[in-house]
Structure 1
């Protein structure tokens, strides 16, 4: 099969100049917008630990959310192709970032905790196994250099 490249274009527009630019670390806002053609803007900031606005998405939230969403999308598609009827899917993902003494840091793990309800006629063993396949296929999980674990819970409808 021929390889394809897919390009993604996102604009990040800083809106945090409160009058004196970055003259001082404490004088500017971390607020920004993430914008892509034809999509709703995302209000972003930094993590509150780094002087960000807690009501806005930060890059760390977006990374964990991207891993969760990618896994879910692959999982649902694989279930549809394998005869597993998913009725509900909710993930409570958690990412752990380690900050070093000098201020740099990196994610050391993300754990996905999807809770899935399947129809009574679906096989829960297949439903569990498809999480492994979804992990193998997820574009985002394949692109990061830290472990992405998953702890699915499967409930059959009517149980």
Structure 2
């Protein structure tokens, strides 16, 4: 066996070993899920009205916007009022409001639009009694789509603000 063949076999073996998950199964079950590595168990019981899971699943963490707009629809206002009630009942939580846009337009335009959307949600929640010191905002523009496709259904889903709750 030539030195080159031996080296190739070693590289192949190392590559296969790197792909192995020693715990077996899915990393999501071990807290590797989400942008911050938060396991679903950290969100609490979705049946517990004071849990983040309840907020996400029952209250709703997302509001949508129309094209090129940061105006809140009637449906968005209903969701945000419900969010505000939950946040006011659970003062131990802080929130990050993420502003998003669809894929059309320049990066700069969409970051600015996402910022306006996040700021609009922030102002609404403050107006509903949520303390401003519990709220942060960020704009991702078009950088974090829910679904990437050049179709109206994708654009509709991606024009949004998401309220991310944390302890």
> Is TM > 0.5 for Structure 1 vs Structure 2?
no
Name the one with the larger strand percent. 1
With the shorter chain as reference, the TM-score category is 0.3 to 0.5
Q: Which has the higher contact order (CA 8 A, sep 6+)?
A: 2
TM-score with structure 1 setting the length: 0.33
Instruction: Give the TM-score of the pair, scaled to structure 2.
Output: 0.32
